[in-house]
């Protein structure tokens, strides 16, 4: 937050703002000098011109009160020694100085004003016969009132500026939070779309590639493969509609069921029906399954690993091991051999975003995810605590 300096919270003067201030100074100077003009002109004309010159000089100096507040304040008060018409600019200079709320400077200029006021009344040839204590009391009261008004104006300006600055800062922070939320939502949408569609589309791609490569298939098998492709495409569209329904709902929550660890068997069976060879080794406490949040992460990890194996290592043997307990957490290891030679079917291109999303998902849940590619096999290992936070 910027420092609340007078240069920051003092509003810039417009032409109208400068004009009405000068008008008030003219009124004050006219009231102070008006009672003496006739006597000066008729009996002490030299004082008339001295007083007028001092007033003109004070009006010229007060225009620079914001640039040199102390200097202008002292100069206008000193002009009050010989000029009653300088009273208006002197008052404006003191008010402007008081808005900065520098007590030592205000005290010096205010005391100088009291002294010059007393001296002016003492040596002016048209001095009144009022008691000195009355003049002194009146001068001190006027000086204190002017200083207090200036300090009040300064405090109010600073308060308004502080509130406006806080509002601007809050608005900037709100925009930043909105941008962060929008970025997080985009990542969530991308991750959800990838998790849902990549698995289905990879099955469609694999069967379509086999159908294009195998030109010697009998019509019955071609028809069965085409029906399988159609079924997987329909499942992908159904999953896409469910995801879009969740994203379009006002609260971001829909009726689309989220997978858990119990759905892992269905995922493996689907991969096996598609022609993959998956060996499963499960080592968990009897009758105990990880919580739904952990199970959902495990499901997504296995789903992505099977999708990658289907895309990049067609026909490879896949080994899956799930082990752990509530004390040590749960470990998932998926390993498959690398593609060897050209099997006549091109690999499906990939951007590597699936593994990036899995790593983010694992880290959100307090776990880790590592991959190893030694040229002959590709393995993925994920460790998760038995319990996770809701954001995983």
Contacts of 330 (CB under 8 A, 6+ apart): 284, 290, 294, 298, 322, 323, 324, 383, 384, 385, 386
pLDDT at 382: 93
- The strand pair at 317-325 and 277-283 is best described as parallel
Q: What is the pLDDT of residues 201-260, one digit of tens each?
A: 766 776 676 667 667 777 777 777 777 777 767 777 776 776 666 666 655 554 556 788
Is pLDDT above 90 for 363? no
Gap between the Cα atoms of 45 and 38, Å rounded? 9
Class of domain 185-384: alpha beta
Gap between the Cα atoms of 41 and 32, Å rounded? 15
Q: What is the pLDDT of residues 244-265, one digit of tens each?
A: 666 666 555 545 567 888 888 8
Contacts of 210 (CB under 8 A, 6+ apart): 225, 345
Q: What is the mean pLDDT of the chain?
A: 80
State if pTM tops 0.85. no
3-class DSSP assignment, residue 384: strand
Is pLDDT above 50 for 390? no
The closest alpha carbon to 89, from 14, 19, 24, belongs to: 24
Gap between the Cα atoms of 37 and 33, Å rounded? 6
Is residue 147 classed exposed, middle or buried when 0-12, 13-18 and 19+ CB atoms within 10 A define those classes?
buried
The closest alpha carbon to 343, from 314, 384, 375, belongs to: 314
Most confident of 178-182, 234-238, 325-329, 358-362: 325-329
Q: 30-44, 92-106, 161-175, 326-340 — which is least confidently predicted?
A: 30-44
**Domain spans in the chain, listed from the N-terminal domain onward:** 6-173, 185-384
Is pLDDT above 80 for 284? yes
Gap between the Cα atoms of 369 and 383, Å rounded? 6
CA angle 281, 287, 289 (to 5 degrees): 70
3-class DSSP assignment, residue 382: strand
Gap between the Cα atoms of 244 and 241, Å rounded? 5
Side-by-side strand order, sheet with 329-337: 277-283, 317-325, 329-337, 377-384, 368-373
Dihedrals φ, ψ of 284, to 5°? Answer: -125, 155
């Amino acid at each position: 937050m910027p420092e609340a300096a007078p240069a920051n919270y003092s509003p810039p003067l417009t032409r109208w703002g400068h004009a009405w201030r000068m008008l008030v100074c003219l009124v004050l100077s006219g009231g102070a000098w008006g009672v003496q003009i006739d006597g000066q002109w008729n009996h002490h004309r030299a004082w008339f011109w001295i007083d007028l010159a001092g007033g003109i000089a004070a009006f010229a100096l007060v225009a620079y009160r914001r640039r040199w507040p102390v200097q202008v304040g002292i100069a206008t008060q000193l002009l009050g020694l010989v000029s009653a018409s300088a009273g208006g600019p002197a008052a404006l200079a003191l008010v402007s100085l008081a808005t900065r709320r520098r007590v030592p400077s205000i005290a010096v200029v205010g005391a100088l004003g009291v002294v010059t006021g007393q001296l002016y009344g003492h040596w002016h040839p048209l001095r009144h016969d009022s008691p000195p204590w009355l003049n002194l009391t009146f001068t001190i009261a006027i000086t204190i009132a002017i200083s207090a008004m200036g300090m009040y104006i300064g405090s109010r300006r600073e308060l308004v500026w502080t509130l406006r600055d806080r509002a601007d800062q809050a608005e900037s922070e709100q925009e930043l939070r909105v941008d962060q939320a929008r970025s997080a939502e985009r990542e969530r949408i991308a991750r959800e779309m990838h998790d849902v569609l990549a698995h289905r589309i990879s099955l469609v791609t694999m069967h379509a590639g086999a159908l294009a490569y195998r030109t010697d298939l009998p019509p019955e098998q071609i028809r069965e493969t085409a029906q399988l492709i159609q079924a997987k495409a329909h499942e992908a569209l159904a999953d896409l509609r469910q995801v879009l329904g969740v994203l379009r709902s006002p609260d971001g929550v829909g009726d689309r069921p989220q997978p858990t660890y119990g759905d892992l068997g269905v995922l493996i069976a689907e991969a096996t029906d598609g022609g993959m060879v998956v060996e499963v080794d499960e080592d968990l406490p009897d009758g105990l399954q990880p919580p739904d949040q952990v199970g959902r992460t495990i499901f997504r990890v296995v789903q992505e690993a099977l999708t990658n194996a289907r895309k990049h290592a067609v026909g490879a043997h896949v080994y899956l091991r799930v082990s752990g307990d509530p004390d040590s957490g749960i470990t998932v290891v998926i390993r498959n051999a690398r593609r060897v030679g050209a099997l006549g079917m091109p690999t499906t291109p990939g951007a590597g975003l699936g593994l990036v999303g899995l790593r983010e998902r694992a880290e959100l849940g307090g776990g880790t995810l590592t991959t190893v590619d030694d040229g002959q096999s590709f393995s993925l290992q994920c460790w998760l605590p038995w319990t996770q936070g809701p954001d995983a």
